[in-house]
Structure 1
Amino acid sequence: MRFPYLRKAAPEGLATARSQRWDPAEVVRILLGTENKGRDEATRRNHRRLAQLPSGKTFESWKETESSIPVPTQHALMTLEWVTRAENLAVAGPSGTGKNHLAEALANKAIDQGMKVAWFTLKSLTAHLGRAIVDNTVSRGVAKITRCDLIVVDDIGMLPSGHAAAEAFYRVIDAAYERRSVVVASNLHPSGFDSIMPKTLATAAVDRLLHHAHIVLTEGSSLRLIQATSGQGVVPLNQPG
């Protein structure tokens, strides 16, 4: 075994151990701990790279008091216990009310806890599986997605979706059903998905999605619009003297 993080830390660690006369077993324990920590951090970096999260939003920038979601619900979602039970989350509400931020913050937290995450918009999911159809690798593509612990499908309902989008959405929801957690973020309640995609596929997908799902509704004015109109959306320009 190569132990790259142990080897990097060894010179300084051994020098400290000699000067402070550490027990050899303690030295080994500390160096192995350094190796484990380094590997965990590398795994998280790789998981974050593969997830392709859109903007790096986390709970550090989340303002729970500005959200219309009840604070106890926010805290319960942050535990990610529902992910370990392969339960789903549907977040629905007007544009700018924190749906995307919440979904990405949950995805980042899942990665921090060692989970694998896949992030798609409905459009990118459709394109991803569309390429797989051309290559005749749809089953393999869906299986790869559902190897992740948490699957996020964002931006549902922004535009009408055709058969290809509905089929891609259904394939993933069906494959993940009772095996993996799916988060959907939409300006429509899932019960209204049949208004933007073919009814048969929408009904079948939503039936599976909501069977073991937490439904969270956001409301209020757009936080983005409030920030923009109050001048918080940009760094103030330096006015010429």
Structure 2
Amino acid sequence: MERIDAHIDSVAQKYRGLYLTAMAQGLEQLLGQAEANAVSYLHFAETLVEQELQQRNGKRIEQNQRRAGFPVQKSLDDFDYGFQTSISKREVNSLLDFGFIDNRENVVFIGSPGVGKTHLAIGLGFKAIEAGYKVCFTTALALIEALELAELKGELKKKINQLLKFDLLIIDELGYLPMNKQGMHNLFQLINAMYEYRSIILTTNPVGRVLL
């Protein structure tokens, strides 16, 4: 028995050397299950690989959620369609195949403060990350300030290129505060660079100026 345990530890160590940590961690348990259920070698190999893939996918999602910069966690399942009747669950669910991202299209949520525009935008952002897309969330004010700072440093193109690495950019609260001429120019440069190349979800109020 000690020899078998030592052999399992040796194999697990080799997996770790190949950065297959989930396979290394689950090896002994999965071996026991395989022996108890008399599964085939192919089924055992598949189960072992699936465990590794699941862990890596989970880590990728967690990492991309952190990078997205969401201010809070919002779920589409928690959205109250009974309170906000101007949009239906069917309309929102129609976006969940993320064809608008694949087709480089944009989504605009227009409504008064407090109706749930940000909730929907964040909820879609989380779902997009789970589906494998890279997402960045920012308020319009923070974005304009970041672009202005980059422009003052002579790094506006660099900043725009950084944002273009994301498949989806969520810009929240556009039009809530006035924008100066330089801010509008910098934002236009970003929108122009993203046009038909990346997708945007934009939230704005009814009197905000939508640039898309």
Normalised by the shorter chain, which TM-score bucket? 0.7 to 0.9
Number of paired residues? 194
TM-score by length of 1: 0.75
Shift of 1:185: 0.4
Cα distance in 2 for partners of 1:87, 1:118 equals: 16
Question: Hey, which bits of structure 1, 4+ residues long, moved more than 3 A?
Answer: none
TM-score by length of 2: 0.85
Shift of 1:149: 1.0
Cα distance in 1 for partners of 2:36, 2:176 equals: 64
Instruction: Judge conservation of contact 1:6–1:35 (CA < 8 Å) in 2.
Output: yes
Corresponding residue of 1:70? 88
Residues 182 and 62 of structure 1: is their aligned pair in 2 closer, same or farther, counting only changes over 3 Å? same
Corresponding residue of 1:188? 206
- Note the aligned Cα RMSD (angstroms): 1.7
Instruction: Judge conservation of contact 2:160–2:190 (CA < 8 Å) in 1.
Output: yes
Shift of 1:189: 5.3
Could you tell me which runs of 5 or more consecutive residues in structure 2 were left unpaired when the two chains were aligned.
Answer: 1-17
Corresponding residue of 2:38? 21
Cα distance in 1 for partners of 2:132, 2:74 equals: 18
- Percent identity, aligned pairs only? 24
What SS does the corresponding residue of 1:97 show, helix, strand or coil? coil
Instruction: Judge conservation of contact 2:147–2:187 (CA < 8 Å) in 1.
Output: no
Corresponding residue of 2:103? 85
Instruction: Judge conservation of contact 1:129–1:141 (CA < 8 Å) in 2.
Output: yes
Instruction: Judge conservation of contact 1:126–1:164 (CA < 8 Å) in 2.
Output: no
Cα distance in 2 for partners of 1:87, 1:94 equals: 23
1:195-238 deviations in Å (ceiling 9; x for gaps): xxxxxxxxxxx2xx2xxxxxxxxxxxxxxxxxxxxxxxxxxxxx
What SS does the corresponding residue of 1:55 show, helix, strand or coil? coil
- Answer yes or no: is 1:142 the counterpart of 2:197: no
Could you tell me which runs of 5 or more consecutive residues in structure 1 were left unpaired when the two chains were aligned.
Answer: 194-205, 210-241
Point out which structure has higher relative CO (alpha carbons under 8 A, 6+ apart). Answer: 1
Instruction: Judge conservation of contact 2:113–2:205 (CA < 8 Å) in 1.
Output: yes
Cα distance in 2 for partners of 1:136, 1:123 equals: 20
Cα distance in 2 for partners of 1:189, 1:78 equals: 28
- Answer yes or no: is 1:127 the counterpart of 2:145: yes
What SS does the corresponding residue of 1:139 show, helix, strand or coil? helix
